Amino acid sequence: MRSGTAARRAGLPWSWFGLVPFFGYVSVFFLLPTAVIAYSAFRVRGEGGTSTFGGANMSAALSGAYLDALWNSATMSLVCAVIAAVLGVVLAYAVATSRGGVLPRLVSTSAAVLANFGGLPLAFLFVAAIGNAGVLTVFVQERLGLSLRDDLGLDLYSRGGVQFVYLYFLIPLMVLVITPALEGLRPEWREAADGLGARGWQYWRHVAGPALLPHFLGSIALLFCTAFSSYATAEALTNGTLAITPLRIDGALSGNVLAGQENLGAALALSMIVVVVPLTLLYQLMQRRSSRWLQ
């Protein structure tokens, strides 16, 4: 027994050897860039080209127009996340309860593709479809005499238009993350509720709803982080005029307004990291909590 225990203890470090590539990947592509961003965010350029440590960059990033941009990013992302979460749950429930085999596979495959479709190609797709001279815009104008922008209020190049485009990949993402939870609802729970005389809304209120709630809240956090960090689509649609933090970072790094604002851009990036990391941890926590029931 002692020799076996000693062998297991001696072999313990080797059991962790397989995680070395993972920790190396996380260190190189997350911890190191985060440390560089934090270092740059607190470096303040002084007179004569000298630099010192201080909080001037963070103070500027959390005040004035930059604070407004952070607030706009947060509110836009929250609205998109809630809408996508609700619509995604409805679509995923329809797929999970479908009796056919073709529809679930088709929706799952489409969701996996569309959830990763964004950036410039997505912006071009919507511009070609419902832009000022898009195919659908011209068709509706000529056949129905309606303007998508003036009559229906759909301005693709505004804040609402960007949020509308974000839903194109957020809803499929919600379908991907919530479908396993819906499939994890045990039929025995519904049968037991029906046997006790519970109605449909009572089953969702007291059984299925509480079981799904942690996963649902965690999914909203994931959708929020995805929309909060999106850059290329908003840049392509608004040409950088939308007041959100990712576009403000681009302006600071490229010197569109003032040169030598790289440290301010790092401070803006650090403010985004401070928002995203706790929500990512919340998503992981909610996933663990819901997995206790939905397995």
pLDDT in tens, the chain (295 residues): 444 455 455 555 666 777 788 888 888 888 899 999 999 999 887 666 677 888 888 999 999 999 999 999 999 999 999 999 999 999 998 888 877 677 778 888 888 888 888 888 899 999 999 888 889 989 988 888 888 888 888 888 889 999 999 999 999 999 999 988 888 878 787 888 878 877 777 888 888 888 888 889 999 999 999 999 999 999 999 988 899 999 999 888 886 656 667 889 899 999 999 999 999 999 888 888 776 666 5
Distance CA 213, CA 193 (A): 18
Strand residue runs (E) in the chain: 43-45, 51-53
289, 216 Cβ separation under 8 angstroms: no
| Alpha carbon separation from 49 to 12, 44, 45, 71, 112 (Å, rounded) | 52, 10, 6, 33, 50
219, 178 Cβ separation under 8 angstroms: yes
Tokens of 218: 């965690």
